């Protein structure tokens, strides 16, 4: 039973379908269209600096909103009896399983001109374009990724030993002290994995801004999509920068918590 051999097919698989493709991205990023070494692609990629900054900013704000919305809910769910917890987590997971394009499309339907929300607002005399702005993009992101923040927070908080809370109360801590000194520190691993699971996909997503945003809200994922088909080199350079910055972000994030959080 102390065999290592069963893992060989997977190791071979990972080399072929994970490592080689990533090395290819690296190769294309550092060469020109003739295959000679060149930094030209990075030069072109640099032209999308503002899009890149935009994407990180949108992802940051979306992650923050998700965290603020999800934290109380994670706490509330974790304080219920087991059967209620099961039903609530199921309710949180169901929308997650809906196709991601359909969920975005639902918001296009809701927010479009003469759509339900627009009609309601016009009763009280408000008329604006609800689609095609940064607010709509952030709304879409929060909607897509909120469950990915709620679930890890809930999981971590449901494991907090209630006796710790009781001990704190016995020793004279009031509600906010219990929250700040017991619950919050113990929920940090949940925050870290929630932030990871929301920030990574929202920084690199494409299509959300194509559906909900205006021309200024284009994100780096959309740029990769647009460029890659015609210019492998520049596309690779942007993809490489995106990947490296996300890994750097994850490493920094994990300085704040234990290593287990992302694995």
81 to 140, contacts with other proteins by CB under 8 A?
Answer: 84, 86-88, 90-95, 97-103, 105-110, 112, 114-116
Least Cβ distance, residue 165 to other proteins (angstroms):
16
Stretch of 80-88, 121-129, 166-174, 180-188 contacting other proteins, by CB under 8 A: 80-88
CA 129 – CA 1 distance, rounded (Å)? 64
Instruction: Give the residue with the Cβ less far from other proteins, 23 or 172.
Output: 23
Q: Which is nearer to other proteins, 171 or 252 (CB)?
A: 252
Residue 160 and residue 108 in contact, taking contact as beta carbons nearer than 8 Å: no
Q: Which one among 19, 53, 126, 248 touches other proteins, defined by CB under 8 A?
A: 19
257 is a site residue for other proteins (CB under 8 A): no
Which of 34, 162, 215, 263 is the binder for other proteins (CB under 8 A)?
A: 263
Report CA dihedral (187, 191, 197, 198) to the nearest 10 degrees.
140
Nearest C-alpha neighbor of 158 from the set 189, 192, 197, 199? 189
Q: Which of 62, 193, 209, 232 binds other proteins (CB under 8 A)?
A: 232
Tokens of residue 25, six digits: 């991205």
Under the criterion CB under 8 A, does residue 239 sit at the interface with other proteins? Answer: yes
Closest approach, Cβ 145 to other proteins, in A, equals 12
Cα–Cα distance, 170 to 174 (Å, whole number): 10
Q: CB of 56 within 8 A of CB of 135?
A: no
The residue among 36 and 171 lying less far from other proteins, judged by its C-beta, is: 36
Look up residue 172 and give its DSSP letter: T
Binding residue (CB under 8 A) for other proteins from 158, 179, 225, 231: 225
Nearer Cβ to other proteins, position 4 or 172? 4
- Residues 174/77/135/47 CA torsion (nearest 10 deg): 90
Residue 31, strand partner residues = 37
Neighbours of 201 (CB within 10 A): 18
Q: Is the Cβ–Cβ distance between 41 and 236 less than 8 Å?
A: yes
Q: Which of 152, 189, 190, 201 binds other proteins (CB under 8 A)?
A: 201
Q: Could you tell me the smallest distance in angstroms from the CB atom of residue 95 to other proteins?
A: 5
* Residue 160 found at the interface with other proteins (CB under 8 A): no
């Amino acid at each position: 039973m102390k065999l290592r051999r069963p893992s060989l097919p997977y190791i071979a698989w990972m080399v072929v379908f994970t490592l080689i493709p990533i090395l290819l991205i690296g190769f294309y990023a550092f060469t020109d269209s003739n295959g000679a070494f060149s930094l030209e692609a990075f030069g072109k990629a640099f032209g999308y600096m503002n899009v890149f900054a935009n994407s990180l900013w949108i992802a940051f704000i979306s992650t923050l909103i998700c965290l603020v919305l999800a934290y109380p809910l994670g706490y509330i769910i974790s304080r219920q009896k087991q059967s209620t917890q099961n039903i609530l987590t199921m309710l949180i997971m169901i929308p997650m399983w809906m196709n991601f394009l359909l969920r975005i499309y639902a918001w296009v339907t809701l927010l479009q001109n003469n759509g339900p929300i627009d009609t309601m607002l016009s009763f009280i005399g408000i008329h604006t374009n609800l689609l095609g702005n940064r607010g709509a993009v952030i709304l879409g992101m929060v909607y897509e990724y909120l469950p990915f923040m709620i679930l890890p927070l809930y999981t971590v908080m449901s494991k907090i030993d209630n006796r710790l809370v009781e001990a704190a109360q016995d020793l004279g801590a009031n509600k906010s002290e219990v929250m700040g000194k017991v619950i919050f520190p113990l929920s940090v691993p949940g925050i870290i994995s929630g932030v990871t699971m929301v920030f990574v996909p929202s920084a690199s997503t494409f299509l959300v801004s194509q559906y909900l945003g205006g021309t200024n809200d284009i994100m780096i994922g959309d740029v990769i999509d647009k460029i890659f088909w015609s210019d492998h080199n520049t596309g690779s350079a942007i993809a490489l920068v995106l990947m490296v910055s996300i890994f750097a972000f994850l490493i920094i994030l994990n300085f704040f918590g234990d290593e287990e959080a992302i694995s």
